[in-house]
Chains A and B, each alone.
Chain A
Amino acid sequence: SYVLTQPPSVSVAPGQTARITCGGNNIGSKSVHWYQQKPGQAPVLVVYDDTDRPSGIPERFSGSNSGNTATLTISRVEAGDEADYYCQVWDSSSDHDVFGGGTKLTVL
């Protein structure tokens, strides 16, 4: 089955840029979606189809996807961005959806 690998944690100072990676075999050929989840809350879609943002999501959130790595980039990080972030793809070979293990973003 298809596996997505994320770093368990990323730390960044306020105002800096956070980059959260999602690794998978030839992930660049798939559409990657990213979710933000704060404690006690349901996940929220922050980036879809590699690079697009749903309405209401700040422009500070952006995504890229190439080769074996997709990346969620959060610019000018704020304290309110502290959360768990998950990547997700659909694997056509198994017809299964897959989530990465999640990355905890800590704002120092």
Chain B
Amino acid sequence: EVQLVESGGGLVQPGGSLRLSCAASRFTFSSYWMHWVRQAPGKGLVWVSRINSDGSSTSYADSVKGRFTISRDNAKNTLYLQMNSLRAEDTAVYYCARVWVGLDYWGQGTLVTVSS
């Protein structure tokens, strides 16, 4: 069974940085596009970013563009989200998800809390 495991979440002060990782296993990671999706406490799903299979093409939600960077290391089967200039409104559970047709597999998420 496909497995996606996020890590790197935690408490960070406003203006700080954090790097999330998503370790992929039991599928050919380098063949799939990947997404990050977040969910603020008690709120709905919000798309954050997307990267193609070889990392040459990315896209970002307007709310994070210029602050967040998505990347991947296909040799390590790992997806990343570098988050800079964090704001209180970035507080959320961050999910990585695999693209097949729709997002067919999701990790369990990692919580990022931005607070002083």
Interface residues of B in 60-116 (CB under 8 A from A): 61-62, 95, 97, 100-104, 106-109
Taking A43-B103, A88-B102 as contacts, is the C-beta distance between A99 and B46 under 8 angstroms? yes
Besides A43-B45, A99-B46, 4 other CB < 8 A contacts? A54-B102, A99-B37, A100-B44, A101-B44
Q: How many angstroms from the CA of A102 to the CA of B37 in the assembled complex?
A: 14
What residues on B are CB-neighbors of A101 within 8 Å? 44
**Residue in A42, A48, A49 whose CB lies within 8 Å of B107:** A42
Q: Report whether B45 and A97 are in contact in the complex, using a CB–CB cutoff of 8 Å.
A: no
The 8 closest A-B pairs by CB, nearest first: A33-B102, A48-B102, A102-B44, A42-B106, A97-B47, A99-B45, A48-B101, A45-B102
Q: How many angstroms from the CA of A88 to the CA of B46 in the assembled complex?
A: 10
Give A102's nearest chain B residue, CB to CB.
B44
Q: Report whether A96 and B103 are in contact in the complex, using a CB–CB cutoff of 8 Å.
A: no
- The smallest beta-carbon distance between A96 and chain B, in angstroms, is 6
What residues on B are CB-neighbors of A106 within 8 Å? none
Dominant secondary structure at the B interface = strand
Using C-beta atoms within 8 Å of the partner chain, give the interface range for chain A.
Answer: 20 to 34
Interface residues of A in 19-46 (CB under 8 A from B): 31, 33, 35, 37, 42-45
Check if B59 is an interface residue, CB within 8 A of chain A: yes
Q: How many angstroms from the CA of A54 to the CA of B106 in the assembled complex?
A: 14
**Residue in A42, A48, A54, A96 whose CB lies within 8 Å of B47:** A96
What residues on A are CB-neighbors of B97 within 8 Å? 43
